[in-house]
Every structure is written in C-alpha cells, then in structure tokens.
Structure 1
C-alpha cells in the first residue's frame, strides 16, 4: 500500500507543478511535502524532480515514474470500478475542462445538477481560455468546439452550434446595404481577438448550398478578447458581431439582436465532450457525458430550425 500511496502522491505533485501548490492542496506544510518527496527518492534510489518552492521539473526517471504510475493507478481504478459497477451510486473524482463563457453558462449548471443526483462524485470544473490536455493535466472530460484531431480521444456531440451574424435593431435601422458577405467590408465589425485565431477573417456558407463558402476580411474601430464584451458592444449598436448560436440565441429571441444575412450562415462550431479512449472508461465519465448529451440541447433550441427574428434581405 505504501507504494500506491507514493504513486498517488507523486501524481498529485506532478500535476500541481510545484511543492507549494501541492502542500496547499493536501493541507500540509511545505516542509512536509518536501520531506515526503525526499523519502520517496531515497526509497527508489533516483532523483525524480529538480525543484524550488515555485516550480517542479521532472527528471527522465520522474517522467517514467509518472507515466507508468498513472497506468498502474488507472488499471487499479478500472478494476475496482468494474467490480462495483453494478452498484447504482456513482462516486469518485471527475475533473472537467471548458471555456469560460460556455462553461459558466451551461456546463456549470449541468455539473451542479449531476452532482446533486450523484453525491458521491467529487467534481472540479476548470475554466480556461485554452483547452487543457486530457490525461497529462488530469482532465477527465474536455468540452471542445469541433471534433478533436487526436484519434486517441472519443468525441460525443453535446450541442449543435453555428456562428451567427447579428446586430442591434438600432444599428440595423441605419445600416448600409448588406446582401452578401462581401458587403461586410463597408460595415464596422466587432472583432473577437482570442487564442491567436484568424480573427479578422469571417467565413460563411450558403444555407441552400453548403459547398459554397465565402471568406471575408473584416475590420472595425472596436474589438475585444472577450466574447461577452463583443455581445454587449453589439447590443449597444456599435456594429456587427459574429457569435455562436448558443451565446446569442436568447437575445435573438427577445429582439435585442437581429440575425443578418439569413441566406448565409457561419461555419459550424458544434460542441463535443471528449475523453480518453481506453479499455474501460469509468462509469462516472460515461454517465456525465451521457447526461450532457441528454440535457444540453434542452438549454439551447436547435439552431437548424431556421433564422430567428426579422432581418433585412
């Protein structure tokens, strides 16, 4: 059992990335964590990490101990869960990663409901601008836009989503003509600058011909790296925004924003729950992904029903 405790301790230490963070997470003193790492290295006869109080860098031996140790702990967890899977109660840790906007508005409420149904779940929702890597950073489920290119990951679609071109009714009343995407060059566009994306180029496809695509370089006097700010600027009448359906659908339904160029649509940006492919996926992971698949569409009306609200031709 001491060896398993050491493996779990080192996994926590490696994922935390520092002695100080590990001490805080475990409720121990910094000296106690440092002493335990030294004892582990003495028992193994190798140095596992070079460290300061702020940063931890694994040696080659430490990387091997982390990787092989993770496999051993996973095998043990899979064995125990498989043996007890006939029990109704779900339990154990569940770490979910999502983006700030979508995570706050939709993932957090559903995780709250899921944990109320399964009190044995110990959940952590980590919201970030950039996706965290699964496995390496201890993430069980990642909520991603689009299917992951990594074939080692399983992707389950939890929400159909597309980009929507929209503006406030006040702006629409005074706007220059807008009949094709190329006309956007004459309009102030509210640009979202995030994640080093090609933010100045907006892409569209015809509704009646998905193969026809137009890419338009846009510009405007106002921009932000935050999607909520962009939506607010659009509501204030500063120009045209290209936002996700999940984000602006309530504002389109209430008339605070109007969908434009309804004969065209932004490229699809469906949301998927992704997790690592393995022989035995823990029941808590499968259950939460299934819960998201079932509950998420009820929070956002299907975007394929057609444009919401009036819009100019």
Structure 2
C-alpha cells in the first residue's frame, strides 16, 4: 500500500510542477512535501527530481517512475471500476475535464453541473484554457476540442456539429457595400480575433460545385482586416451586434442571434469551414463507467442546447461514434 501511495503522491507532484502547489493541493506543509519526496528517493535509491519551491524538473529516473507509475495506477483504477460496474454501484470517482473558455463556460460547465447532480459520488473538475492542454501531462480524463485531434494516440468522439458562419448586424448591412463573393470582404470592416502577431488574418470558405469538371468542393482563402479586433470571441460578437463590421464566428455561438434577427447570415453559397466538437481521451483497455456515461450524456444533451445546423450549411453527415470510437 505504501508503494501505491508513493506513486499517487509523485503523480500529484509531477502534475503540480512544484513543491508549493503540491503542498496546497494535498493540504500539507511545504516541509512535509519536501520530506516525503526525500524519503521516496531514499527508498528507491535514485534522485527523481531537481527542485526549488517554484519549479520541479524530473530526472530520467523520475520520468520513468512517473510514466510507469501512471500505468499501474490506471490499471488499479480500471480494475476497481470494472468490479463496481458488475455490482451495479453508482458512478463515482474523479472526472477532470479540459475545455476552451467560451464553449466551456456556455455549455460544458452547466452540463457537468447537471451530470454531477445526477451522480453525487462523482468528483467533477472543469479547467478552462485558451488552448487545449495535453491530457496525460495535466491529469485530465477528457478534453473538449474543436476539430479532430492531431494526436494519433487520442480517441475522439463527436459531440456537436459546428461550422463557422459569416454574419453582420442589419445596421451594418444597410450602410455597407454588397458582399457577393468572399473577395468582397477585403473592402469591408472585418472583426477579427487576433491570437498572434499576424498582420492579416485569413478567413477560409468552401462551397459545393455543380460542375462535372471541377472538384466537388471549391475553396477560397481571403486576407481580411479591420480597425477593431480582440483576442476574445465574445467581444467580437458584441462588436458585430453593435454594427461595427462583419465577423466569422462558430454556429454554436451565433445561432440564437441569427434566429432573432440581431445578426444576418451572409454569402449563403459560401460556408466557413467545419469546426465540429469532439470529446477526446487517452486510449485504454477499459474506459471507466463515469467517463463513458459523461460522454454519452454530453452527446445526448448538447444538441438540445444548440440548434441544428441548417441543411445547406451542414454539408455532410456527422459520424456516429456512440458505439465505435474514432481514433485519429
């Protein structure tokens, strides 16, 4: 048992990244955490980490202990979970979720709240970040991401169809030049999200073609600019509602404004690229009952929170992966 406790302690330490954060998470004093790490290294006969109060750097032996230890703890968790399933026990255990700020606040947070209310023994933890975090490095059970993940080792299950939509307020449209092709956007005030130092954000579009001599999907990439920008999507939406220009935003974020008439869709023949949402997790031989249940819960509930994409903008069926997970 002491060895398993040491493994769990070291997992906390590696995820926290320093002694101070570990002490805070475990409710221990800094000296107690430092002493325990020294005792563990003495028992193993190797140095596991070089550390200060601000930073902890794993040695090669520490990396090995962390990686192999994670597998051992995961096997134990899966064993206990599988035994509980056979005895019809209620869902229980930790469920750590990573999602982006906008979608996480608007949809994942309330869904996690409902899920934990229905399963009181589940310990939910939602961490919102600007960009997706590595699941294993940060101890997450599941990540909510836009687009299929580039990591081939992750399992991805689709949870919501989504596409970026070009739109503006009626007030802006009434006083602006017509927009008949994507190239016309170069003569308009475009509201852009700036997440780097690029001078000209690029907006990408696609449309179906009817010609037998052309590819089934025609694409267009347009460099746009404008005097108003932000690194936050909600700010961009607010600026568009106030009539400051044209924006390209996700369907999940603007569908209610389009339905109410506060925003008007533009270039109906051209669509922004697909930006579907996926739940991703590390592959394992036994997926815990709480993780399976949460994925099925958000797959079932999300469509009721976001109206379906119009047929003209969906352009393709969303794969059904309730039973068969997709591995990128």
The TM-score normalised by the length of structure 2 is: 0.91
**Range that drifts further, 298-307 or 255-264:** 298-307
Map Cα deviations across residues 119-150 of structure 1 (whole Å, 9 max, x no partner). Answer: 11111100001111111210110101111122
**Residue 196 of structure 1, CA deviation:** 7.3
CA distance in 1, matches of 2:205, 2:199: 14
The gaps in structure 1 that reach 5 residues or longer are: 308-313
Map Cα deviations across residues 60-105 of structure 1 (whole Å, 9 max, x no partner). Answer: 1100110010011011111111111132410001100000000000
**Residue 254 of structure 1, CA deviation:** 1.3
CA distance in 2, matches of 1:117, 1:194: 38
CA distance in 2, matches of 1:251, 1:112: 25
**Residue 290 of structure 1, CA deviation:** 0.7
Hey, what does 1:263 align to over in structure 2? 269
Map Cα deviations across residues 39-77 of structure 1 (whole Å, 9 max, x no partner). Answer: 111111111111111111001110011001001101111
CA distance in 2, matches of 1:174, 1:131: 39
In the alignment, is residue 33 of structure 1 matched against residue 39 of structure 2?
no
Seen in structure 2, the aligned counterparts of structure 1 residues 114 and 42 have a Cα distance that, compared at 3 Å, is same
Seen in structure 2, the aligned counterparts of structure 1 residues 236 and 151 have a Cα distance that, compared at 3 Å, is same
Map Cα deviations across residues 233-281 of structure 1 (whole Å, 9 max, x no partner). Answer: 1111110000000001111111111111112110000000001111111
**1:135 match: secondary structure:** helix
In the alignment, is residue 23 of structure 1 matched against residue 23 of structure 2?
yes
Hey, what does 1:311 align to over in structure 2? none
In the alignment, is residue 156 of structure 1 matched against residue 157 of structure 2?
yes
The gaps in structure 2 that reach 5 residues or longer are: 211-215, 314-328
CA distance in 1, matches of 2:221, 2:23: 51
**Residue 199 of structure 1, CA deviation:** 6.7
Seen in structure 2, the aligned counterparts of structure 1 residues 44 and 194 have a Cα distance that, compared at 3 Å, is same
The TM-score normalised by the length of structure 1 is: 0.95
Alpha-carbon contact 1:193-1:199 (below 8 Å) kept? no
Question: What is the count of residue pairs matched by the alignment?
Answer: 307
Hey, what does 1:219 align to over in structure 2? 225
CA distance in 2, matches of 1:88, 1:291: 18
Map Cα deviations across residues 200-229 of structure 1 (whole Å, 9 max, x no partner). Answer: 110111256661111111011111111011
Alpha-carbon contact 1:189-1:219 (below 8 Å) kept? yes
Hey, what does 1:273 align to over in structure 2? 279
Hey, what does 2:70 align to over in structure 1? 70
